[in-house]
Chain A
Amino acid sequence: MATYTMKEAKPAPSGSKGIIFWLKTNLFSDVRNSLLSLVGLYLIYLTIPSLLNWMIFDATWSGTQDEVVNSGARWIFIIEKFDQFIYGFYPEHLHWRPNLVAVLCVAFLMALKVLKNNKTKIVIMLLFPFVCFILISGGWFGLETVETEKWGGLMLTILVAAVGIIASFPIGIVLALGRQSDMPILRTLCIGFIEFVRGVPLITILFMASVVLPLFFHDGIEFDKLLRALIGITLFQAAYIAEVVRGGLQAIPKGQYEASEALGLSYWQGMILIILPQALKISIPNLVGSFISLFKDTTLVLIIGLFDILAMVTLTNSDTNWLGYEVEGYVFVTLIYWVCCFTMSQYSKSIERKFNTEH
C-alpha cells in the first residue's frame, strides 16, 4: 500500500504584491507597455524638473528687481503688482470695499444655509446684489463714487461672472419653459433666440453689445462699457442656461406634469412647485459646467476694452520699470483660473456622484 505524505505548503509566489509586482502589472506588463512607460517617464523627466526649478527652486520670491540673480520665475513682479491684479485701478484707500463684499458673500452663503425661513431668505437674496453694488460703486450713503472704468482685475472677472450667472438664470428658465410650451409663436420666438445666440461666437455678441446696442436707444440713454459687456454676456449665457434647463425639464416624467394638472394647479403653480424644483436639481451638474465655461469666457471682455485679470498682464507689463514680465503674469493668472475652474468641476462631479447613488 502506498503511503501518502502531506506536502509542505509552498510560500506564496514572490512578487504577487509589493512595488515590484505593481510595477510589473501596471507599467511593464509587456514590451509595448514598457515602451509606453519609458516614453511617459521621459516626458515627466523633460517637464517636471525644469518646471519645478523655474517655479520654486530658482525663483525669486523677495527683494527688488536689481537683486534678481536666479534664472527662475521672478515672483517679485506679482508681489509688486498684486493689488493691480486683484483690484485693477480701484483706488487704493477704498480696497476695503471689495474686500468687505467678499466677506459679505461668504456670510451670505452661510446665512442661506443656516436660515430656515424662506421669506427672509428671499428678502436677503433680493437685497444682497444691491448692497454689493452700492458698496463697490459708491455714490450712496456718503460713499465715494468709483467709476466703472476703474474697476478691474480679478474683482471685475468675478463681478462679470457673477452678474452673468445671476441675471441669466431667470431669463434662461423662462426661455426653456417657452421652448417647451405648446404655444407655437412663443416657442418659435424662444427657439429663434436660443439657436441664434448659440450659433454665433461670444465675441460677435460682445461686439454687437458694444457697438450696435447704443444705436438702439435714444441719445439720452447712455450705457457704460461695463454695462454693455454685461448685457451681452447675460444674453449669451441665458441661451446656454435655457438649453441646460430644457434638458432637466425633458428628464422629468410626463406623469409629474399630469399630476400637477390633476391637482388643479395652474401652469405657473405647477412649474414652480413641482416641475422646476426637480428639473433644476438634476441639472445642477450641467449648470455648474455652464458656469465654468462662463467663468472662462469672461476673459473675452478684454477684447472690447475692459481690464479683467487677463488684461492686467499686458497692462502691468507696460510699466517702464517692469518690462518683460509677461511669463510670470500669465502663469499667475493661469493658476488663478485653473484653481477656480478645477475646484468647480470637482464640485460638479461630486454632485453627479451623489445623485447617481440615489437610485
Chain B
Amino acid sequence: MNNKQLPIDGKGFLNNPQHRAVFFQIIALIAVIFCAFYFANNMFDNIEKRGITTGFSFLDNTAGFGISQTLTNYDDGTSTYFDVFIVGLLNTLLVSILGIIFASILGLLVGIGRLSNNFLISKLSLIYIETFRNIPILLQILFWYNVVLAALPSPRQSMNYLDSVFLNNRGLLIPEPIFESGSSAILISFIIAVAAVFYLTRWSRKRHDKTGEEFPLIKVSLAILILAPTLVYFIVGQPISAVYPELKGFNFRGGLAIIPELLALLFALSIYTATYIAEAVRAGIEAVPKGQKEAAKALGLKDHVILSKVVLPQALRVIIPPVINQFLNLTKNSSLATAIGYPELVTLFSGTTLNQVGQAIEIILMTMAVYLTISIVISLLLNWVNAKMAIKGR
C-alpha cells in the first residue's frame, strides 16, 4: 500500500480558503474605503467651489416661513430651522399614528369580511383588496387631494353635520375640546383605572390558574375604564367643554380644523395599507388548522371561547409580524405627502429648508436618520413580539 500523502498541487497562498477569505475581504474593504474617500474628497471640493457652508449650525438660524399645521408653538418670525425639523417630525408621527389606527381597523374588518361565509361580503372585500392594492399610493394620494377634496364646496356652502362638524374645501372642522382646571383629575382617574385593570388582569389570571374559575374580565375592565373618568368628570363639575366652529364671513372661526392635505393623506394611506393588513389577517386566520377548531368544539367550548383561546392566539402569531411591517411601510409612505404639500418631515425639511439653506448632505442625512430610527424602533418591537410569541418548547 502506498500510504504516501497525495501532493498538494496548489501551494499558492490563495489556495487556502481561509487566506482567500481574508484576502477578498481586505480587497472589498479597500474598495469601499477608496470609494468613500474619493466621494468625500470630491464632495469637499464641490462644496468649497460652490461656497456652501457645512455643519449643522444652520439649525439655529431663523426659518421665517409659515407652516399650515403645527403641533408645537411655531412662530413664522422667530422659530429656527430646528423648530421646523421638530414640527415636521411631529406631523410625520401624527399622520403615521392616525393612519396606523384607521388602517388597522379597516384592515381587520375587511380581512374578517374576506373570510365571511356571506358570499356578497366576501366578494366585496376581495374586490376592495384587489382594487386598492394595485393602484400606486402616490396616485391615490393625488386623486384624493386633487379630485375628491378639491370638489368639496366652499366654506359658505359647507357640508354640515349636526351644526358641529363641517366639511369644505379648506378641510374638516370639528368641535375643539377645552380643558379647564380640574380636567387633570380626569386624566389621573383614567391612569388609576388603567392600573386597576392591569392588576385585575393579573389577579384573575392567577385565580384562573388556581381554581379554574372564569372572571368576566373584559366587561369589568371596560366598566372601570369608562365609569371612573365619567364619574370624576361629573364630580369635578364638567370641566371639559367644546368650542364649536362657526361661520364668520368667508371662513370658520373656532373649532379644530383638519387641513385637507392631512385628510387626503389619511384616506389614501389607510385605504392602501388596509388592503395589506386585510390579507395578513386572512392569511393568519386561515393558517390555523381546521382540526384545532374542531378539537375545541369537541371539548365543548363555546364559540367565543374557541375564538379567544384557540384560534386567535395561534392566528396572531402569523398576523402580527407582517402587520407591524405594514405599519413601517405606512410611516415611510407618509413621506409622499410632499407631493401634495402636507407639512411633514420631507416636505418641510428636505423640501423647503433644503431650498432655502442648500446644505443638501446634512439635511438629507438628518431626514434619513429619522426614518432609520423609526424603522429600527419598529424592528426591535417586532423582534420583541416575535420572541414573546414564539412557541415555547418544553
Instruction: Enumerate chain A interface residues (CB-CB to B < 8 A).
Output: 26-27, 29, 33, 36-37, 40-41, 43-44, 182-186, 189, 196, 198-204, 207-208, 211-212, 214-219, 292, 296-297, 299-300, 302-303, 310, 313, 326-327, 330, 333-334, 337-338, 341-342, 345
Contacts and interface: CB of A to CB of B under 8 A. Distances in A.
Contacts of B32: 189
12 contacts: A27-B120, A36-B120, A36-B121, A37-B121, A40-B118, A44-B120, A185-B25, A185-B28, A201-B333, A299-B136, A338-B131, A342-B130
Contact of A342 (B134, B146, B335, B360): B134
Given A29-B118, A202-B332, 10 more contacts: A33-B118, A186-B24, A201-B335, A201-B371, A216-B42, A218-B42, A337-B134, A338-B135, A341-B135, A345-B134
Contact of B372 (A29, A199, A292, A341): A199
Nearest to A203: B335
Contacts of B354: 207, 211
Contact of B364 (A183, A204, A216, A300): A204
B372 A26 contact: no
A40 B124 contact: yes
A299 B47 CA distance: 31
A29 B118 CA distance: 8
Q: Is the interface of B mostly helix, strand, loop or mixed?
A: helix
Contact of A297 (B136, B146, B338): B136
Interface string B35-62: 0000100110111010000000000000
Interface of B: 21, 24-25, 28-29, 32, 39, 42-43, 45-47, 49, 116-121, 124, 130-131, 134-139, 142-143, 146-147, 332-333, 335-336, 338-339, 346, 350, 354, 360-361, 364, 367-368, 371-372, 375-376
Q: Is the interface of A mostly helix, strand, loop or mixed?
A: helix
A26 B118 contact: yes
A196 B25 contact: no
Contact of B147 (A43, A186, A299, A327): A327
Nearest to A334: B135
Contacts of B332: 200-202
A19 B371 CA distance: 54
B42 to A, nearest CB: 6
Contact of B139 (A37, A207, A334): A334
A292 B275 CA distance: 15
Nearest to A208: B364
